[in-house]
Chain A
Amino acid sequence: MRQFFEKRIRPGLLFDIFNVMFFIILSIVFLAPFIHILMYSVSDISHYSTAGLFLLPRGFDPAIYEALLLKGIRIPNALLTSLFVAISGTFLGVLISSMLAYAITKPFKGRGVLVVLIFFTMMFSGGMVPTWLVVRGLGLLDSRCALVLPGMVTGFYVFILRNFIQMLPEGLEESVLIDGGSYLTVFFKIVLPLSKPVIATVALMTAVGYWNDYFSSIIYLFDTQKWPLATLIRDLINRSQLSVMEGGVVVGLDVNRLDNVKIKSATMVISMIPVLIAYPFAQKYFERGMIIGAIKG
């Protein structure tokens, strides 16, 4: 339809003009907040006005990043925690989910029951309070493992993986089994490598979920030194009305002439960097994730 239109003079030129203008404005509205905090964080605010929208830096003073990442200890610590949680949670979660997903494509005794039990976890949940009691019972309170375990495997992703694995050609599996290989060989040598696209999708969604999770550490951790970056930022925002000193305390810096908004902006930029770096490469998988999620969900 597009090629068809683009070949001739489009009817409704006025509509096109308005539509293009609408989307230009929309793009600006979507991007401006991110640009603002980025530019604010590198501006020299001791010499320039802090009022208004920062679409370009005013002066240039990126010292805040050096202070946060090299002089302070809280941001590097929080970054390490966030990375630990995201990497270990994604790795274990995807591994266990895909093992489960492959297993339930085989007609072993008890499969029907297991599939129903997995499906049921998608509809009914014990919820926050009993889960907290289980984590407490396992002795995981105040441990970083409590940020990883409770949300690691979800029925939804198991079924997404299962749906893909089911479509793989059976001939490959049979030839491995005839050559004396076991189902373990089939899983690691054939199923995992062939399922790369869907595994990448599930892994990315899981990783983003972990990276953005702030709530687990609020209920499972008492020691604020163990917080991941997202929770640290929440604390910074909640203290935004307080003095610069307070903001400095949150990020573990001895500050006197730093603006609180600047600390906050720079911390937010730091926490967005991994997502922004992955974004161009991961887009295809993100889009695919939405579509399988919506149609098969």
Chain B
Amino acid sequence: MSGSAARLGSKDRLTFSKSWERYKYIYLLLLPGVIYLIIFKYLPMYGLIIAFQEFTIFSGVFQSAWAGLENFSRMMSSRMFWQAFWNTIRISVLRLIFVFPAPVLFSLLLNELPFKRFRRFTQTISYLPHFISWIIIAGILDVFVNPGNGVIMLAIQKIGLAPPNVISSNTWFVPMLIVTDIYKTMGYSAIVYLAAISSIDPGLYEAAIIDGASRFRLVWHITLPSILPVICIMFIFNIGSIMEGGFNQIFVLYNPLVYRTADIIDTFIYRMGILTADYSLGAAAQFFKSIIGMLLVIGSNYGVRLFKQSGLW
């Protein structure tokens, strides 16, 4: 961003007609993109005003009656909404605690593997699940933990224990989200850490080995500090998406029995705004979420910039 702003400076005083004459083909090239952005990005943003209306599909955005903050007060007094709000935050924080460190640990251990071929092979399979749809992951999960004939459940039965119904138990659902999330994202997220590790100056290791450092100390004093900036930046970016909660994953797995622990803001918006056609309430929840989400993203981008300036990068 900063580079382009600097280059812009000198030609900033171009008049529009001159600019048109010189760049008409450039305007032509950006036309489809601009039309697209207006229709599919900015029109929906404008559409959020239905959060302040008593919107009905028959009167449309322009003729629906204004409702002030009525939809927001309905939302604020809805127990379901606050449940979804706190579930979103709880699930996101749990992901930061358990899912976030997994690829760091994975890449540190992988880097210590002695055989290059094996290292490459393991890494290759580890990020295969990233490219498989959550639908398939849910289908596989069903094949394994289905209470009727799941592979793992039958095995638990064989030992003589009562298998839990993972999909519809409020105790097991969130841990199941965490485990499947690690399964799906660990290998792929590790790529960026592995790239950071491979750019460490080998001279550092050689010097430390000559000084008699053990392998653990090499990891602790060289590898980890070298990739710490990347870890911090990834962490700050992750904080920026706390309001997300992982819609695509939860939507394929959840059911009314686990709303108490698994219903997040996005699934709430879907059920209110689309399924029960309470468009204004859905838009109110979306507005709330988008505003907080934007503040978090701006905050985290600012945090990353501060961090980069702090000299640790």
The answer to whether residues A212 and B125 also contact, given A107-B8, A219-B274, A291-B195 and a CB cut-off of 8 A, is no
Q: Is B305 an interface residue (CB 8 A)?
A: no
Q: Which residues of B contact A11 (CB under 8 A)?
A: 214-215
Q: Which residues of A contact B218 (CB under 8 A)?
A: 1
Q: Which of B19, B32, B191, B247 contacts A108 (CB 8 A)?
A: B19
Closest to A182 in B: B25
Q: Which residues of B contact A52 (CB under 8 A)?
A: 151, 154-155
Q: Is A65 an interface residue (CB 8 A)?
A: no
Query: Of A20, A107, A231, which is in contact with the most chain B CB atoms at under 10 Å from its CB?
Result: A107
B126-142 residues with Cβ-Cβ distance < 8 A to A are 126-129, 131-136, 138-140, 142
The answer to whether residues A290 and B188 also contact, given A19-B109, A30-B129, A126-B286 and a CB cut-off of 8 A, is yes
Q: Which residues of A contact B121 (CB under 8 A)?
A: 27
A27 engages B122 (CB within 8 Å)? yes
A134 engages B29 (CB within 8 Å)? no
Q: Which residues of A contact B39 (CB under 8 A)?
A: 134, 138
B32 engages A261 (CB within 8 Å)? no
Is chain B's binding surface mostly helix, strand, loop or mixed?
helix
CB 8 Å contact bits of A1-39 with B (1 = contact, 0 = none): 110111000111001100110110011001101101100
CB 8 Å contact bits of A261-297 with B (1 = contact, 0 = none): 1001100100110010001000100110011001101
A124 engages B45 (CB within 8 Å)? yes
Q: Which residues of B contact A127 (CB under 8 A)?
A: 44, 48, 269, 283, 286, 289-290
Q: Which residues of B contact A124 (CB under 8 A)?
A: 45, 290-291, 293-294
B26 engages A183 (CB within 8 Å)? yes
Within the complex, the shortest CB–CB distance from A48 to chain B, in Å, comes to 15
Interface residues on B, range: 35 or more
Number of A interface residues, CB 8 Å?
Answer: 104
The answer to whether residues A279 and B131 also contact, given A4-B202, A268-B139 and a CB cut-off of 8 A, is yes
Q: Which of B20, B131, B215, B294 contacts A15 (CB 8 A)?
A: B215
Interface-side segment among A70-78, A148-156, A249-257: A148-156
Closest to B32 in A: A96
The answer to whether residues A294 and B44 also contact, given A20-B114, A37-B140 and a CB cut-off of 8 A, is no
Q: Which residues of A contact B191 (CB under 8 A)?
A: 287, 290-291
B8 engages A23 (CB within 8 Å)? no
Q: Which of B30, B132, B269 contacts A272 (CB 8 A)?
A: B132
Closest to A234 in B: B135
Interface-side segment among B10-18, B83-91, B93-101, B256-264: B10-18
A30 engages B43 (CB within 8 Å)? no
Q: Which residues of A contact B143 (CB under 8 A)?
A: 33, 36-37, 40, 261, 264-265
A96 engages B36 (CB within 8 Å)? yes
Q: How long is the Cα–Cα vector from A27 to B128 in the complex, in angstroms?
A: 11
Q: How long is the Cα–Cα vector from A170 to B233 in the complex, in angstroms?
A: 32
Interface-side segment among A56-64, A195-203, A235-243: A235-243
Q: Is B148 an interface residue (CB 8 A)?
A: yes
Q: Which residues of A contact B140 (CB under 8 A)?
A: 33-34, 36-37, 268
Closest to B194 in A: A287
CB 8 Å contact bits of B253-290 with A (1 = contact, 0 = none): 00000000000001001100110000100110010011
Q: Which of B10, B29, B44, B124 contacts A103 (CB 8 A)?
A: B29
Q: Is A233 an interface residue (CB 8 A)?
A: yes
Q: Is A79 an interface residue (CB 8 A)?
A: no
Q: Which residues of A contact B202 (CB under 8 A)?
A: 1, 4
Q: Which of B133, B146, B266 contacts A230 (CB 8 A)?
A: B133
B12-71 residues with Cβ-Cβ distance < 8 A to A are 12, 14-16, 18-20, 22-23, 25-30, 32-34, 36-37, 39-48, 50, 57, 61
B40 engages A134 (CB within 8 Å)? yes
Q: Is A221 an interface residue (CB 8 A)?
A: no
Q: Which of A132, A212, A240 contacts B135 (CB 8 A)?
A: A212
Can you list 8 A-B contacts (CB < 8 A)? A10-B114, A123-B294, A130-B46, A133-B61, A182-B25, A275-B131, A283-B124, A291-B195
A103-B29, A287-B191 known; 15 new pairs, CB 8 Å cut-off, are: A4-B206, A31-B125, A107-B7, A109-B14, A118-B37, A126-B46, A127-B44, A129-B47, A134-B40, A136-B57, A149-B40, A182-B25, A214-B133, A219-B270, A237-B138
Binding site for B on A (CB under 8 A): 1-2, 4-6, 10-12, 15-16, 19-20, 22-23, 26-27, 30-31, 33-34, 36-37, 40, 50-53, 96-97, 99-100, 102-112, 114-115, 117-119, 121-134, 136, 138, 149-150, 152-153, 158, 166, 182-184, 187, 208, 211-215, 219, 230-231, 233-234, 236-237, 240-241, 261, 264-265, 268, 271-272, 275, 279, 283, 286-287, 290-291, 294-295, 297
Binding site for A on B (CB under 8 A): 1, 3-5, 7-8, 10-12, 14-16, 18-20, 22-23, 25-30, 32-34, 36-37, 39-48, 50, 57, 61, 109-110, 112-116, 118, 121-122, 124-129, 131-136, 138-140, 142-144, 146, 148-149, 151, 154-155, 183, 187-189, 191-192, 195, 200, 202, 205-206, 209, 214-216, 218, 230, 233-234, 237, 247-248, 251-252, 266, 269-270, 273-274, 279, 282-283, 286, 289-291, 293-294, 297-298
